[in-house]
Structure 1
Amino acid sequence: MASIDNTVPRIPAATWRRIETFVRDAVTVAAPQTSYSAEVLLWAAGQYVAWCVDTQLWPLEAEVIWSRQAIDLYVTDVRQDLAEGTRRNYRARLMRISEVLLPEEHGDAMTALGRKTTAAPYDSAEMGRYRQWAGSQLTPLKRYRAMLMLILCAGAGLRAVEIRDLDRADIEQLDEGFVVRVRGDRAREVPILAVWDEWMRAALEQAPETGRVWGKPNRSRENALLSSFTQYTVGSAPRGDRLRATWLVTHLSDRTPIKELFRAAGFVKFEHLGRLLQHVPDLSPDLSVPALRGEASR
């Protein structure tokens, strides 16, 4: 395998020195069991593993780096700069390595490429099951975090990274209800939907008095806070992006002013509005006509 010994991917030299043995070992094992050359696999693997350690700060552990979830995140969310065909090729190569090294990881379908997708919201029956899911977890900490996930995603539309960084002092109870203060690049205040007030009070009774409400995240997958939590829970778990979509559709159905929804969601632009509107109930004719004439009550 002389060709692989002379191949060096286009990544910083310091990073390559750190990951070279890990990448070469993976490719050496996987290449003979795939239709790809070792060189092709090494180019893709080198760039991907560099992202894992430099951007995600993940440890060089096979079960972390070669997980399907990590590869899916990289290809679907990170490499948007690449054409769809190129992204498919990247994923195919990385997935073949994963299939060889972690065969138990594979079975379910991956996120579809080739078209833009928007997470669908959950309906009321599904949300009822997820409330039961949260209460059925086997430890107090998992029940508490499952509650937080539902409250902050479905009740306030927060993203995983925003939950990760949320401090106990950022949640305040006002006369009107609970408000969450989100810090960072998308700083804002978000009122929690009233339906989650009782759960928020119960969760705060278990929350630390100071510091992050979530507690210490999984260091190896800190940027995948919710998925790294739910993979170790019992029962069918919700997805954070679909819970956030549920929050958005709840507000769209309640005719929340769009400018206020933009602000609360931390949007600069709302690219997927049209796809979410299909989940919003239509107005009856006796309401839609006055609304379009500017005669609806405000």
Structure 2
Amino acid sequence: MPSIHRYSDDCHRGVLPEQGTPPPRALRQIEDYTPNFPAQHWDAIANFVRDVARDVQCATSTPVSDLMSVLARYVLWAWQTAGIDLDRETLFRPDVIEEFIDHACPTLTSSSRGTYRSRLLRARQTLLDAEGAGVHFDPTPLSPADPMRLYSLQELSALHTWASGQHTVTRRRDAATLLALGAGAGLASEDIVRLKTDDITIDGLGVLLKVTGRRARLVPVLETWEQPIIDAVMAIGPGLPVFGAQRTSFNNNAVSNLVARSSGVGIKPSLQRLRVTWILHHLNVGTPVPHLMKAAGIETLDAFDRYLRFLPEPDANEFRTALRGPSPMEDNS
């Protein structure tokens, strides 16, 4: 998938004259815009929405208020309901946009839904065009690198090889920790960079993570992924980041920087795919959905819609047995 990067700085400097430069009035409107939803939610996504709006406004005549209202509602849904990271490449996928239109806009008229879809797809295309990608919206099958595809056992084995092949002890530990926090607990970059050794409980029930930040929660780690986290805690000591122990700030780019600068050829980890793998594992083994929602930091069932296509079809006996079940009215005394 082509990358969608921030280019508003170039646009504002006039480096992209063919895209145009938003007038000062438009930039002020973007900065001053306040949506009609709780302030604490807007505070969490405002900078991301404004960055996107400034970039898109370089190449559109859509009134700022109209653009901002659509972007704000869409990003709020992606962040709060769907549990999607504030990452352009994931958030502006056409299938995510379609999911928003299908599930998050039930009160809109057909015409309004079409307007929302058009503006979001146009925003995506504007960002892609700025990168020279020339990508349009024809549906395409999932590629092996698709952020919505889970990792196979063979791919996970290759990722273990990637982690163990890093050139220093610290990099090997960070790489192994990254895989464990992603595939073993479904953490996003912003969760990982804030996680300190003091936030990790290791006891007879396994490993429990206390995630802080905008989606604060407790996450039990899958047993098969516990050891790299235990090893990191033992090696690093109290009060330090479990990933990148020498860091002094909560820079979300720390994860992508490690992956980008890592040694080795072939497959490298995507946190989005690791999270998908973690969620699908739990759905497949029958983890109660309320428990999974709590651990994933997801607020509504709509967020699971995108995963259902990856679940195997149950055979007839499994289907009947699961739905027959014991009666809740049975006397178990």
The structure 2 residue matched to 1:294, chosen from 325, 328, 332, is 325
The structure 2 residue matched to 1:136, chosen from 135, 148, 165, is 165
The equivalent residue for 1:177 is 206
* CA gap 1:120/1:272 in 2 versus in 1, 3 angstroms: farther
Task: Output the CA distance in 2 between the equivalents of 1:296 and 1:127.
Answer: 40
Identity of aligned residues (%): 26
The equivalent residue for 2:91 is 77
Calculate the TM-score normalised by the size of structure 2: 0.60
In the alignment, is the contact (CA less than 8 A) between 2:217 and 2:297 conserved in 1? yes
Aligned residue runs from structure 1 range 25-174, under 5 A: 27=15, 31=17, 36=18, 40-43=19-22, 55=47, 73-74=87-88, 77=91, 82-93=119-130, 95-96=131-132, 119-174=148-203
Secondary structure of residue in 2 paired with 1:133: helix
Q: CA deviation at 1:118?
A: 5.9
* Deviations 1:129-155 (CA, angstroms, capped at 9, x unpaired): 111111011112211111111111100
In the alignment, is the contact (CA less than 8 A) between 1:119 and 1:242 conserved in 2? yes
Q: CA deviation at 1:87?
A: 2.8
Task: Output the CA distance in 2 between the equivalents of 1:265 and 1:171.
Answer: 17
- Alignment: residue pair count: 235
Task: Output the CA distance in 1 between the equivalents of 2:134 and 2:238.
Answer: 40
Unmatched segments (≥5 aa) in structure 2? 1-7, 32-45, 49-85, 98-115, 141-145, 329-333
The equivalent residue for 2:279 is 248
The structure 1 residue matched to 2:232, chosen from 189, 198, 203, is 203
Q: CA deviation at 1:295?
A: 3.9
Task: Output the CA distance in 2 between the equivalents of 1:112 and 1:164.
Answer: 34
Q: CA deviation at 1:188?
A: 1.4
* Deviations 1:262-284 (CA, angstroms, capped at 9, x unpaired): 00101012434233123223333
The equivalent residue for 1:10 is none
In the alignment, is the contact (CA less than 8 A) between 2:280 and 2:311 conserved in 1? yes
Q: CA deviation at 1:232?
A: 0.4
Task: Output the CA distance in 2 between the equivalents of 1:190 and 1:180.
Answer: 5
* CA gap 1:243/1:111 in 2 versus in 1, 3 angstroms: farther
* CA gap 1:115/1:160 in 2 versus in 1, 3 angstroms: farther
| One-letter code aligned to 1:188 | R
Secondary structure of residue in 2 paired with 1:88: helix
The equivalent residue for 1:280 is 311
Unmatched segments (≥5 aa) in structure 1? 1-15, 57-71, 97-108
Provide the alpha-carbon RMSD of the alignment: 3.7
Task: Output the CA distance in 2 between the equivalents of 1:120 and 1:128.
Answer: 16
| One-letter code aligned to 1:169 | D
The equivalent residue for 1:64 is none
In the alignment, is the contact (CA less than 8 A) between 1:120 and 1:276 conserved in 2? no
Q: CA deviation at 1:226?
A: 2.1
Calculate the TM-score normalised by the size of structure 1: 0.67
